[in-house]
Amino acid sequence: MLTPKQQELLSFIQNRLEEGGVSPSFEEMKEALDLRSKSGIHRLINALEERGFIRRLPNRARALEVLKLPEAMHRAPKIVVPPKPQLASRPPIAANDVIEIPLHGRIAAGVPIEAMEGQNMLSVPAALLGAGDHYALEVSGDSMIEAGILDGDFALIQKTEVAREGQIVVALIEDSEATLKYFHREGPKVRLDPANSVYEPQIYDTRQVRIQGKLAGLLRRYN
């Protein structure tokens, strides 16, 4: 028999797999269960694995598979999980409540590459964007896959020069290269964390890094 938290986590993982085929990151699981640290998620994952409800997929960082569900979950109504940023099958076609934002080339989600300025525009559902100015960048690389950000996605960025701890940001490094990462401060340093255990965090002096925006949403094409 599972504890309420174990059942809540299993339901969250199952719902995310059904929605997008990708298991949630530990950070997403921590936030969904309102836990203070990832260590609690590790304990819950280990308990579910020991009881045969899930398994970790080999050769895939933190990828999980649900093997079975308890009877109580089969009988109970499905838990509604707050949706991830809306995905689209291709750069959206203009329609009602659609706005155009600048599309500024490609940005690395792995090793930093130069962020190119461009004059192209991308049509975006207004519901994906909040207040403020926005622009779009095409993602290149796989270091944010555990956050559900894949190579070829369009990252919708709200312009800002400040960021809170743990936000996904566009960081401009030494005024020449940009990357999409989780933002953290470590004293006089800035740590940019990937969402893929294959990659190492990137650590810079604060004067080397300027925040160019924070992630507001995603668009994805399938072709």
Task: State the pLDDT at residue 201.
Answer: 92
Of 123, 169, 14, nearest to 78 by C-alpha is: 14
Percent of the chain, pLDDT > 90?
A: 22
Determine contact, residues 157/214, Cβ cutoff 8 Å: yes
Pick from 42, 75, 108: which residue ends a domain?
Answer: 75
Kindly state whether residue 184 falls inside one of the protein's structural domains: yes
* DSSP-assigned letters across all residues of 172-207: EETTTEEEEEEEEEETTEEEEE-SSTTSPPEEEEGG
Nearest 5°: the CA angle 83, 92, 132 is 65
Task: State the pLDDT at residue 202.
Answer: 92
Residues belonging to the active site: 143, 181
On whether both 19 and 129 belong to a single domain, the answer is: no
CATH of the domain at 36: 1.10.10.10
Please, which residues have CB within 8 angstroms of residue 77's CB and are 6 or more apart in sequence?
none
Counting the structural domains of the chain, the total is 2
pLDDT band at residue 80 under the 50/70/90 scheme:
very low
DSSP structure class, residue 45:
H
Pick from 75, 107, 127: which residue ends a domain?
Answer: 75
Half-sphere exposure of 50 (CA within 13 A, CB side): 9
Domain extent at residue 178: 98-219
CATH of the domain at 178: 2.10.109.10
Pick from 40, 75, 110: which residue ends a domain?
Answer: 75
Report the C-alpha gap between 51 and 2 in whole angstroms: 9
Question: Is residue 137's pLDDT more than 80?
Answer: yes
pLDDT single digits (tens) 192-216: 999 998 989 999 999 999 999 999 8
Report the C-alpha gap between 156 and 124 in whole angstroms: 9
pLDDT single digits (tens) 161-191: 998 999 999 998 888 788 999 999 988 899 9
Question: Is residue 29's pLDDT more than 50?
Answer: yes
On whether both 70 and 117 belong to a single domain, the answer is: no
Question: Is residue 125's pLDDT more than 70?
Answer: yes
Q: Average pLDDT of 35-49?
A: 84
Range with the lowest mean pLDDT among 13-27, 66-80, 82-96? 82-96
Please, which residues have CB within 8 angstroms of residue 173's CB and are 6 or more apart in sequence?
112, 179, 202, 204, 208, 209
